[in-house]
Chains A and B, each alone.
Chain A
Amino acid sequence: MAFDKMELKDIEVWDGNYAAAQAMRQAQVDVVAAYPITPSTPIVEGYAKFLADGYIEGEFVMVESEHAAMSACIGAAAAGGRVATATSSQGLALMSETLYQASGMRLPIVLNLVNRALASPLNVNGDHSDMYMIRDSGWIQFDAFCPQEAYDLNLIAFKVSEDHDIRLPAIVNQDGFMTSHTAQGVKTLSDDAAYGFVGEYKPMNDMLDFEHPVTHGVQTEEDWHFEHKARQHNDLMTKVMPKIQTVFKDFEKLTGRKYTPVEKYDMDDADVCVVCLGTSVETAREVATEMRAKGIKAGVIGLRVIRPFPFFEIAEALKNVKAIAALDRSSPNGAAGMLFNEIAGALFNTGTKALLSGFVYGLGGRDLTKAHLVALFNELQANADAGKVTTKLQQFIGVRGPKLAFL
C-alpha cells in the first residue's frame, strides 16, 4: 500500500470542515484540484496535511483560482477517476460557469460547498446565498445540518454521483462557520468500511482509455441542444431520487444512521411547521419540542436533498399542516424566497388548506435564536387559529431598523 491508513476512534470530535476532509481521505479521491476560500479553506488544508503525512495516494493540486479548480476537476473527471473539491461564496460564483459545464457533460464530481454570504458587501460568514445561486446548475445537492452529516453525506455523494445511471456531479452543503468550524462528536467508519461503502471508481467514457477515444464537451445548436438539456433534466427528475433512496438505505444498513430527502421532526400530527436548511433545523427542533410542552403542536422539516427538489415528498409531509413557515437564508432581491416559492409550487393544485408564510433570516451570519423561533411558532399558531396568514407573506427576522415585511 502506497499510503497509510488512519486508526480512528469510534467517536471523533471534528468540525464540519475536518469531517469533510476525512471523508474525502477515506474515499481515496484520485484528484483534488482546489483553491482556498473562507470558510472552506480548512477542508483543503486538512487534506493537504493528510497528503504530507502519507495518508493519501491521489494527486492534490492547488490551482490559481476556483474557476481553474473546477476546470481541472472536470478535465480529471473526464480523464476517468474520482474527483472532489471544496469552495464557498465568491469562489462558487467564480466557478459557476464551470458547474453548468460539468453537469452538462455528466461527469461525477463531489463539491463540498461551505455556505457563505455573497458580496457586496463582502462577508465571510454563513448564509445560503451561494447554495441558492447555482440551484439550476444541474448538480445534485445535499444539505448537512451538522458535522456528522457532512461526513456521512460526502461518502453518500460519491456513491450516488459516480453511478453509471446517474453520472451527475453532487454538492454537499454545510453552514459556513456554524457547521464548518463547530466541533461535535462524529461517529466514524473505519477506513476500510468507508472505502468499501463508496466502492471502487468505475470509469465510463474515460479519455485515458486510448482504445476508445471520446469527444467531450461538444457544441449543440438549435437542432440538438434542447434534447440534451431535456435528457439531463429527465435523469434528475426520474433517476436520481430513487438512487439516493437506495444509497440512504445501504448507508442505514451499514451505520444505523437513517437519512431521508425530507427530514421530518414531530410532523405526524403537527399543526404548525417550520421548513428550513442547515443548522437552523436543529435549533428549530429544540424550539418545537418546547412549544409542544406549551400545547402547540409544532413540527420541523429540514430538507436533506435540495436538488432534485423532493416535490411530492414535501407536499405529502405538509398536506395536513395548518400553518407553514418557509425560512430562506438568502435575500431573494425582489421576490418571495426560494423555499417559499418551491413549497408553494408543490402545494398548489393539491387542494391543501395549509397557510404558507415566508421569512428571510440570518444573512451574513446573523444568528437565528431560539427566541426568534418561539415568536415564529406563536405567529404560525395565530395564523392557524385565524384560518388565514395574519401577517405579510414575507418578513425579515433579526434585522435592525423598522420592521421589514412585504407581500
Chain B
Amino acid sequence: MKNIKNLKEFSTSADRFEGANLLCPGCAHSIIVREVLNATNDDLVLSASTGCLEVCTAVYPYTSWDASWIHIGFENGSTAVAGAETMYKALKKKGRLKQPERTPKFVSFAGDGASYDIGFQWISGCMERGHNIMHIVLDNEVYANTGGQRSSSTPIGSSATTSPEGKKSYGEKINKKDMMTIMAAHGIPYAAQVSPNKWKDMVKKIQHGFAVEGPVFINAVSPCTTEWKFDPKDTMHIADLATDSLVFPLYEIINGQELNITYRPKNVVPVEEYLAAQGRFKHLFKDEYKYLIKEWQDRVDEKWAYLQRREEARV
C-alpha cells in the first residue's frame, strides 16, 4: 500500500487525471477523482457512467484519463468494471495476462442519478455477486449534467428543475435516499461516506477499500457550484460546511454491520449556515418556509444520534 504520512508526501503523487477537461471551474468531481487515483500506485481499470464526469472527460478526440477507462451507458458503469474484473480473473487463471505480476484496482465512478436511480439494480447486482470492485458515487444531489433535475438523492427543500420552488412549493418534498445503509445491507466488506475536504479521511478509506477483498461502496459528497449555486472558489468551503454541520457525516460500515464514525467536528456548525451558503436553498429563508430549516436541523440531529447509537452498539 502506498504510504501517505502527510500532505507533503501525498503531493509527490503523479496524477493520472488530466486538466483541460470540460468540467465546470471549481467542480468537486475532479478533486475527488484526483484524491482517489492518487491514493494508490496500482494499475487502474476505471469506468464512468453517463454524467458530468464521463461527458466532460472523454469527448472525442480528447481523453483526460491516464488509465484504461470505459463508458458504456447510464446504468451500467459498475457492471462494466465488474465485467472487466471478471475477465481479469479469467485471464489470470488461464495465464494470459500481459503483465501478470501487477495487481490492478477496478473502480467505477457514477453520479447520484446514475447510482441511486437508474443504475441502482446494476450496482446492487455487483455488490451481491461479490466482485472485487469499488463503486464511487459522486453525489451532487441532482442530475447535474442535464441541468439539475431531481434524483432520489435530492434533499428536502432543495430547488431542482423538476422539483422547483415556486409560489405553491418549497421544492423537493421527499427525503434523500439512504444509499449507505442499503448498500451495506448487501453485506459488503466495506462502505464509507467521504468528502473531498477531509482528504486524509478519504485517502485512508480508499486505501482500505482497495485492500479488502470484495465489493466496496463509497459515497462522496460533491458540492456543485453550478447546481447548488455558489461561487466556484467556495467549493471546499461548502464541503467544510457539509461535514462540520453533520449534514454529510463521515463514517464507515464494516461487513455491513459495524459502524465507525470517522470525523467528529470540533465545532459543530448549525445546519442553517450550510443552507444559507447555497442558492438552491435560498427560498427556505422566506417566512412561509423557515420552519423547514428547523426540520432540517432536527433531521440531521436525529441521524447523528442514530449513527452514534449504532457505533456504540457495534451493529
Interface residues of A (CB under 8 A from B): 2, 30-31, 33, 57-59, 61, 63-65, 67-68, 71-81, 83, 97-98, 101, 105, 203, 206-211, 213-221, 224, 228
Contacts and interface: CB of A to CB of B under 8 A. Distances in A.
Contacts of A228: 60
Contacts of B75: 67, 71
Contact of A221 (B59, B69, B84, B89): B59
A244 B313 CA distance: 65
B72 A218 contact: no
Nearest to A205: B68
A217 B58 contact: yes
A211 B61 CA distance: 21
Contacts of B91: 30, 79-81, 208
Contacts of A65: 121, 125
Nearest to B96: A81
A58 to B, nearest CB: 5
Interface stretch (B97-105, B162-170, B224-232, B256-264): B97-105
Interface in B41-85: 43, 45, 47, 54-55, 58-61, 63, 65-73, 75-76, 79-84
B17 to A, nearest CB: 12
Contacts of A30: 87, 90-91, 94
Interface of B: 43, 45, 47, 54-55, 58-61, 63, 65-73, 75-76, 79-84, 86-91, 93-94, 96-99, 102, 104, 121-122, 124-125, 128-129
A63 B58 contact: no
B87 A75 contact: yes
A76 B83 CA distance: 4
A216 B48 CA distance: 10
Contacts, number: 170
Contacts of A31: 83, 86-87, 90
Contacts of A211: 98-99
B179 to A, nearest CB: 17
Contacts of A221: 59
Contact of B67 (A73, A77, A213): A213
A125 to B, nearest CB: 28
A98 B88 contact: no
A71 B82 CA distance: 9
| B61, B80, B102, B124 interface centre (most CB from chain A within 10 Å) | B80
A79 B45 contact: yes
A57 B73 CA distance: 30
B72 A217 contact: yes
B86 A72 contact: yes
| A2, A57, A67, A71 interface centre (most CB from chain B within 10 Å) | A71
Contacts of B76: 67-68, 71, 98
Contact of A213 (B55, B65, B86): B65
Nearest to A212: B68
A216 B129 CA distance: 25
A218 B237 CA distance: 33
A216 B87 contact: no
| B54, B79, B81 interface centre (most CB from chain A within 10 Å) | B79
B79 A75 contact: yes
15 contacts: A59-B93, A64-B124, A67-B122, A71-B75, A76-B83, A76-B86, A78-B83, A79-B83, A80-B87, A81-B91, A101-B72, A210-B68, A215-B58, A215-B70, A221-B59
Which 10 A-B pairs give the minimum distances between C-beta atoms? A75-B83, A64-B125, A72-B83, A71-B76, A207-B68, A79-B87, A217-B71, A75-B80, A79-B84, A215-B63
B45 A58 contact: no
A402 to B, nearest CB: 45
Contacts of A220: 59-60
B84 to A, nearest CB: 4
Contact of B129 (A63, A98, A105): A63
A208 B69 contact: no
B120 to A, nearest CB: 11
A232 to B, nearest CB: 14
Contacts of A105: 72
A69 to B, nearest CB: 9
A363 to B, nearest CB: 31
A208 B60 CA distance: 22
Contacts of A224: 60-61
Given A59-B87, A68-B121, A207-B84, A216 B71 contact: yes
Given A210-B99, A220-B60, A61 B86 contact: yes
Contacts of B69: 207, 213-216
A59 B90 contact: yes
A33 B43 contact: no
B236 to A, nearest CB: 29
Contacts of B82: 61, 72, 75
Given A76-B86, A97-B73, A218 B93 contact: no
B303 to A, nearest CB: 30
| B43, B75, B83, B128 interface centre (most CB from chain A within 10 Å) | B83
Nearest to A58: B90
Contact of B87 (A2, A67, A208, A210): A208
B105 to A, nearest CB: 11
